[in-house]
Structure 1
Amino acid sequence: MPEHPARVAVIDCGTNSIRLLISDIADGSKTDLLREMRIVRLGQDVDRTHHLAEEAIERAVQATREFAAMIEMFEATQVRFCATSAVRDADNAAVFEDAIEGILGVRPIVLAGLDEARASFLGATRDLEVERTLVIDIGGGSTEIVVGTGEDVEWSVSLDIGSVRLTERFLTSDPASVAEVIACMNHVDSVLAPIVSQIDPVASFVGVAGTVTTVAAHSLALPSYDSATIHGARMSIGDVRAACLSLVQMSVADRRALPFMHPGRADVIGAGALILDRLAELLPLATDTLVVSEHDILDGIAWDMVST
């Protein structure tokens, strides 16, 4: 008899965005029913204050109310809410967690950096051929780098470099000045320097999350954001880096005018693109291709919900 599908709902609340995935999972396959995203900038000023701003909490809470209605409509039987970098760093995280629990009836799980990395890896590689792969997940507050084969994680790290964090810290002009860009690049390089020596060269390189997918859309000059075109796209490292540097040099208004750009990413994509550029330059890659995946931490958490 076929296994009765489990209908799961996963919410991932990061530094910049909050996202919902509702899926049916059975017999080792996953059917996605709904993906939604809101830009709420929960990590507004957290790098400086270590405190979640009241207005940022309210934006995330309002989005969660909307997601709760969708979860109820789809009659999901299992619900998990995961929070990452911004909530990890905040001294008033409990206020946010209480508010979310009041809406959903489940307490948020604040993922440690390495748990976040593992979930991103599992989500990104589940549908790929089993080969040793390096996955990068560039978020608003942190970046995860994971190496593994199949579902087996060999090595992982979570670094406090993200698009929101570095925009607030370094790229304060519009457009960013040359001096700001150089300072940001030097900082990213200094964070990556002790990391890259720990990784043996890999021949499969996968990137997930909004920075990578937006850079891909820019490189492909898409007339609108097209998930079907972006997911699984194989892009030369040279083209990726050219698109990164193009975005860094733009003003926020020019980025916002790009037809594929989510308006909530326009002010921070420059820092995210710089992180991607430095990763592509410094990581020990035995390939000149980046594979772009729209399957990420949400998918990894969904799989984990039915395996635990």
Structure 2
Amino acid sequence: MKRKKVRSAEPPKYQPVGIVDIGSNSVRLVVYDGPNRAPAPIFNEKIACGLGRGLALTGRLADDAIERTLKALRRFKLLCEQIGVHKLYAVATAASREAENGPEFIEQAREALGHRIDILSGKKEAELAALGVLSGIPDADGVVGDLGGGSLELVEIRGGAIRSGVTVPLGALRLMDVSGNSIDKARKFIDETFAGLDILDKLKGRSFYSVGGTWRNLARLHMAQTHYPLHVLHNYRMSRTAARSIAALVSGLSAETVRDIPAIQKSRADTLPYGALVLDRLLKRSKAQDVIISAFGLREGLIFSKLEKDKRKRDPLIVACIDFARRYARSVEHEFELCDWTGQLFRGNGLKETPAQERLRHAACFLADIGWRTHPNYRGERSLSLISQASFAGVDHPGRIFLALTVFFRYEGPLSDVAPKNFMRLIDDDVIPRARLIAAAQRLAYVMSGAMPGMLPQISLSYEGNKSLILSIPGRLEPLLGERVERAFNELALLAGRVPLTRVHD
């Protein structure tokens, strides 16, 4: 039977950027939607090849690991062609740069991938990992630690800039080799290595930003143990005590036991106890205040390093939320107007907000209309799920929940009592009234503007003394006023602690 020809779809409106990362433990291809300030992965695949296994003992990459890696690279080459990768970067780290047969392997790898492969120095690897953290957590202050199979990169970040950094031979695979698979011997080796590291003294009272799949799995386990409702690893915070507790626990488990823990990836079973041991000893030595998980690392740092300076300065959260508005809202121009319109509540003798609060309000306004295509009964629930689980950067978990709840209340009603309590417990009680207030302003804006631009700039909100909230509208727009507007305005005034007063002017 002759196949019916399918009409081709419109080509994607992005220019995919691919990163091939040849690490000591795994080889990964990540394709992002473009060279953006807030790049979103559209394809992500990791293959555990174990290039660094046995390297500390033999000084060479094993033949079987090389073959697995070359096979993965041939697959990645075809996938990049299929996806239409516009720009490809390929890098190799500790195992490739340290092995006797590393140069020979890189030549084979270049042929398999059909692309140049840069061997990163330990210093460059640390720098890119730190850039990745800064791209996803711009206000990060502390020390970044990127744990791979062959090495651990440590670099200080302060004031949005990279300071000093070091590379130490404490990768999980290397530790297994040099200790003869003995946790006790590995502990001694780690402690001796950390003893003379001045960079760890700079962590006292500051945050340790952990990068790498090994430590992300520890965070997954901690989430499961504490029944944490938000399964987003980026910017997940563990207190120093909690992080040491979970790390010490896992470092004492056998690989077989680790493999049976549902929250942990089975491919990490052999290396996780050693990676956990590194974290435990680092926290003991450094007196860090807490551990913050960064889902952004070397690969995101590489993209960030290629951006123009003006792009690097942009706010990753706002950039991502504007992109959401372009994709899902009825009018992104309306959402820009909404940012300004809701800001009237915080001007003059009105309510107050800090720059950080203003930033989150703007983000919430860009996200306010993303549920409009969903069935009305599920718009709040859908928006809550989408925002809380989105791959946003530049926002911590309480901020993420604030955004999700604000848009939830925008759809369900600002006085709704059906918001999920497991999410509500992640933010301070005094933040929830602010989410309700902004949601009420959004609801009022939408019933008057129809979600289209041009109307809100003609309608104003202002305060009269300490008692009244004034809604001013020109006479020619008076027919807009009705029961829905009255109800929405009354709710807004109630949450603002003012008496509603509508004025029609010439």
Asked if structure 2 preserves the Cα contact closer than 8 Å seen for 1:126 and 1:151, the reply is no
Structure 1 position 117, deviation (Å)? 0.4
Alpha-carbon separation, structure 2, partners of 1:207 and 1:84: 18
Per the alignment, residue 298 of structure 2 pairs with 297
Report matched runs for 1:1-308 at 5 Å. 6-26=15-35, 28-149=37-158, 151-170=160-179, 172=181, 180-196=182-198, 199-200=201-202, 201=204, 203-221=206-224, 228-285=231-288, 287=289, 289-307=290-308
User: In 2, distance between residues paired with 1:197 and 1:29?
Assistant: 30
> Contact between 1:5 and 1:26, CA under 8 Å: does it hold in 2?
no
Alignment deviations for residues 110-152 of structure 1 (CA, whole Å, 9 cap, x no partner) = 1000100011111122121424331111111100111113552
* Preserved contact between residue 33 and residue 41 of structure 2 (Cα < 8 Å): yes
1:260 Cα deviation (Å)?
Answer: 2.9
Unpaired stretches in structure 1, ≥5 consecutive residues: 173-179
Which one-letter code corresponds to 2:50 in the other structure? R
Q: TM-score, normalised by structure 1?
A: 0.88
Q: CA deviation at 1:301?
A: 1.4
Report the Cα offset of residue 197 of structure 1: 5.8
Asked if the contact 1:196–1:284 (Cα under 8 Å) also holds between the matched residues in 2, the reply is no
1:175 paired residue number = none
Q: Could you tell me how far 1:64 is from its partner in structure 2?
A: 1.4
Q: CA deviation at 1:66?
A: 2.1
The residue aligned with 1:177 is: none
Q: Which has the higher strand share?
A: 1
Q: CA RMSD in A?
A: 2.3
Show structure 1 runs of 4+ deviating over 4 A.
none
1:165–1:237 distance in 2 versus 1, CA, 3 Å: same
Q: What whole-Å deviation, never above 9, does each CA across 1:25-77 have from its counterpart, x for those lacking one?
A: 35633222122111110112111111111101011111112222221121112
SS of residue paired to 1:80: strand
Amino acid at match of 2:54: D
Q: Is the 8 A contact 1:87 1:110 kept in 2?
A: yes
What TM-score does the superposition give when structure 2 sets the normalisation length?
Answer: 0.55
Distance 2:247 2:176 in 1: 15
Query: Do the aligned partners of 1:196 and 1:283 also contact (CA within 8 Å) in 2?
Result: no
Deviates more, 1:112-121 or 1:192-201: 192-201
Contact 1:122 1:151 in 2 (8 A): no
Which amino acid is 2:24 matched to? T
- Aligned-pair identity in percent equals 27
SS at match of 2:51: coil
| CA shift in 2, pair 1:295/1:198, >3 Å | closer
- 1:264 deviation in Å? 2.4
Q: Deviations over 1:241-264 (max 9, x none)?
A: 121122122221111111133232
Distance 1:150 1:35 in 2: 31
Corresponding residue pairs, total: 294
Question: In 2, Cα distance between the equivalents of 1:74 and 1:202?
Answer: 45
- Which whole-Å CA distance do the structure 2 matches of 1:48 and 1:141 have between them? 12
In terms of mean alpha carbon deviation, does 21-30 or 90-99 score higher? 21-30
Larger radius of gyration between Structure 1 and Structure 2: 2
- Any conservation in 2 of the 1:85–1:142 contact (CA below 8 Å)? yes
1:96 Cα deviation after fit: 1.5
Please tell me the residue identity of whatever aligns with 2:240.
Answer: I
CA deviation digits over 1:83-134, x for unaligned, max 9?
Answer: 1111111111122212221122222111000100011111122121424331
